[in-house]
Amino acid sequence: MEQTKKVMLSGIQPSGDLHLGNYLGAIKNWAERAEEFDCYYFMADMHTITVRQDPAALRRRTLEQLAQYIACGLDPERNTLFIQSHIPAHAELGWVLNCYTMFGELSRMTQFKDKSAKHKDNINGGLFTYPALMAADILLYQPDYVPVGEDQKQHCELTRDIAIRFNHIYGDVFKVPEPYIPKAGARVMGLTAPESKMSKSIPEGCVFLMEKPEDIQRKFKRAITDSDTENCVRFDPASKPGVANLMNIYAAVTGKSFAEIEAEFAGQGYGKFKPAVGEAVIETLRPIREEAQKILADKAYLESVYKAGAEKAAYVANKTLRKVYKKVGFVPAR
């Protein structure tokens, strides 16, 4: 008898375009997980509206993100790819879990504090309670593992606390998920601020997956190296963070070691090195961009992917939701 695969789930907000840091740090490794896990990946569009969005841009980015996932190697036949708002159970379970999440727990969420500071004119209820929706996103699918980065550990811990609290009251309803520390991907820093992670919020230092080759090359030519006069390609993150970041990126896209990179550019300086990194990144992203463009042009195919994903996701989610509704005392609709 074939052993059932363990379940893994992850969602990313389509609040901006995917970039090189997303790809090298995470998405590049996701395709391999389908061998070991039953994977669910969703576009977390419901979460994006805690901050005001342009509706047409949100629709475009959601579909572009889905197309880019497929172009990066996430085969829809082997991974369940879906759009969060297509599964009403997310919002329904989100409300129930709101009632089992304590005010103090939500008050301590660092992302609420950060986003409130950035969007002082729009500190809405959703911004405060979205960790309960995030818990619903996860617990609906009874996953064994949830991949977490440093910025999501707090939410994963809260999800576990909510699941344990609910199970303590009503019995064994939710599987309590474990955080999954993924195989280390390349840690990509900003090209203009190498002390911080690459971020879409600083577009001039961020390389996007769908960006034109000439724009990518321009960004690499303008990348920060260091302030010394050495002009030497050497891996020294402490005193040469800009050069170290470029070497990290070059190593990730070419498979070369730091020693090989140092030997390759010995005596050539940054004038040769920076455009070479840019060219290597361009060639790495070219097939992804071209494949994503083909997929986006085939609207019928893209629709078939998210409809099939929603069908499979809804089947699993509704099963959990029915169980929860019964436990809390709701009268069944049928």
Give a yes or no: residue 271 inside a domain: yes
Give a yes or no: residue 81 inside a domain: yes
Let me know whether 147 and 254 are in one domain. no
Structure confidence at residue 320 as a pLDDT band (50, 70, 90):
very high
Instruction: State the Cα angle at 287 between 286 and 291, rounded to 5°.
Output: 120
Q: Assign residue 251 the CATH number of its domain.
A: 1.10.240.10
DSSP letters of 156-200? HHHHHHHHHHHHHHHSS-S--PEEE-PPP---PBPSS-TTSB--T
Q: Assign residue 168 the CATH number of its domain.
A: 3.40.50.620
Let me know whether 26 and 167 are in one domain. yes
What distance in Å separates the CA atoms of residue 140 and residue 97, rounded to the nearest whole number?
11
Let me know whether 120 and 250 are in one domain. no
Structure confidence at residue 318 as a pLDDT band (50, 70, 90):
very high
DSSP letters of 219-286? HHHT----SSS-------TTT-HHHHHHHHHHHHHH---HHHHHHHTTTT-HHHHHHHHHHHHHHHHH
Let me know whether 170 and 33 are in one domain. yes
Give the model confidence (pLDDT) of 158-200 as tens digits: 999 999 999 999 999 999 999 887 666 678 999 999 989 998 8
Radius of gyration of the chain (CA): 22
Let me know whether 91 and 166 are in one domain. yes
| Domain that includes residue 236, residue range | 203-293
Number of domains in the chain: 2
- Residue 305's pLDDT is 98
- Residue 93's pLDDT is 98
Give a yes or no: residue 237 inside a domain: yes
Give a yes or no: residue 159 inside a domain: yes
Let me know whether 56 and 179 are in one domain. yes
pTM for this one? 0.86
Let me know whether 259 and 309 are in one domain. no
The CA-atom distances, in angstroms, between 116 and each of 14, 113, 125, 326 are: 20, 5, 11, 36
- Residue 2's pLDDT is 46
Let me know whether 274 and 222 are in one domain. yes
Give a yes or no: residue 198 inside a domain: no
DSSP state at residue 5: P
Let me know whether 208 and 170 are in one domain. no
Give a yes or no: residue 1 inside a domain: no
Average the pLDDT over 216-227 and give the result. Answer: 91
Beta bridge partners of 135: none
What distance in Å separates the CA atoms of residue 312 and residue 331, rounded to the nearest whole number?
25
CB-neighbour burial class of residue 100 (10 A; exposed 0-12, middle 13-18, buried 19+): middle
Let me know whether 285 and 307 are in one domain. no
- Residue 92's pLDDT is 98
Q: Which residues are catalytic?
A: 115, 197, 200
What distance in Å separates the CA atoms of residue 100 and residue 85, rounded to the nearest whole number?
22
Give a yes or no: residue 272 inside a domain: yes
The owner of tokens 């969703």 is 42
Q: Using CA atoms in the order 326, 138, 66, 53, what is the torsion angle rounded to 10 degrees?
A: 90
CB atoms within 10 A of CB 72: 21
Let me know whether 112 and 12 are in one domain. yes
Give a yes or no: residue 194 inside a domain: no
Let me know whether 253 and 310 are in one domain. no
Q: In what order do the strands lie in the sheet with 145-147?
A: 79-83, 37-43, 6-12, 145-147, 178-180
